[in-house]
Amino acid sequence: MIGGAVFGVVIPYVAIAVFIVGVIYKIIGWANSAVPLKIPTTCGQQYTLPFLRRNIYDRFDCPQTMWETVGRMFFEIFFFRSLFRNTRFYYAPQMKYKDARWLWLFGIAFHYSLLLVLIDHLRFFMNPVPWFSSKLTDGLSLTGVFVPTLYLPGLLIVVALALLWARRLFFGKERTISLPSDHFVLILLLAITISGNLMRYFYKVDLEGVKELILCLSTFNVARAVSIADTIGPVLYIHLTLVSILLAYFPFSKLMHSAGVFFSPTRNMPNDNRVHIHINPWNPEVKGITYEQYYEMYKDQLDEIAENGYKVKPEV
């Protein structure tokens, strides 16, 4: 009785609340600091003289207008364009530069799988199930092999996470820079995805009850939620609790990169510094030396230049 209520109702509610409030708190925290300077990283030719052609990639890598900036952010967010530029420097034996876009591959595999898995999960959250969710799920499932159908992103996400974690475990540089929190997040995500897959394929739970529980939670029908929570198998609560931990941990961790990438000034600002001047709201006054003071200091030399008619002639 207590178990169901705690794991099925209290923990999810708390986690969601922490998640929402935390993320907004964090965003507002960032927003409270000004962006004093416009510092885009330009990775393409700037907008310049008309005869120097800017190609389409320059437009996105070195945006001049708002729409080009939007384009840059789009490619950054949906295709990880910066990571796609990745090269690796090889010390031995030839000291060469090579493409090394594995990180991009693993990263994009993980993130897209995550997106698809989340869209698939809409069937637990929405009643009736939205058409795009079920259509997408059908298209990505292999039937005829297993019961239920093999949902490919659900498996791919485990593989991608394992590969991402393997990088951190086996590569020297990555191991060095990985903090416990980095491992923690990967382990947590692995645990969530593996428990989800186990639940899907092996340790079945009564999904009907799960959906009922979630719908009760989302319509704040707490009493009914508590009563249903007790009828569902414990396997679900492993998954659900891990997800709750992730949600509650989200705002206080590096996972905030998902929101932060939108705020990054090196990416979300156009490179039009000399056309539209950026205003720094706290621009300080700085008292430097004025020309008058300068003139006082070097009066004789400046006067000499003036005497020569403000020009210098070669003495041949």
Q: Which of residues 182-211 bind another protein (CB under 8 A)?
A: 182, 201-209, 211
Which listed residue (5, 126, 190, 194) binds another protein by CB under 8 A? Answer: 126
Smallest distance, another protein to C-beta of residue 239, A: 14
Q: Which stretch binds another protein (CB under 8 A): 3-11, 154-162, 237-245, 306-314?
A: 306-314
Q: Which residues of 173-183 are buried (b: 16+ CB within 10 A; e: fewer)?
A: ebeeebeeebe
Helices 11-32/234-249 angle, 10° precision: 20
2 vs 131 by CB, closer to another protein: 131
Q: Which residues of 12-49 are buried (b: 16+ CB within 10 A; e: fewer)?
A: beebbebbeebbeebbeeeeeeebeebebeeebeebee
Q: How far is CA 165 from CA 66, 112, 189, 250, in A?
A: 37, 17, 10, 18
Q: Which stretch binds another protein (CB under 8 A): 6-14, 134-142, 153-161, 238-246?
A: 134-142
The answer to whether the Cα torsion of 120, 126, 128, 130 is positive or negative is: negative
Smallest distance, another protein to C-beta of residue 242, A: 18
Task: Give the other-Cβ count within 10 Å of 259's Cβ.
Answer: 15
Which listed residue (1, 2, 223, 291) binds another protein by CB under 8 A? Answer: 291
94 near another protein, judged by CB under 8 A:
yes
97 near another protein, judged by CB under 8 A:
yes
Site for another protein in 217-276 (CB under 8 A): 218-219, 221, 224, 231, 233, 252-254, 256-257, 259-267, 271-276
Smallest distance, another protein to C-beta of residue 50, A: 8
Which listed residue (125, 159, 227, 248) binds another protein by CB under 8 A? Answer: 125
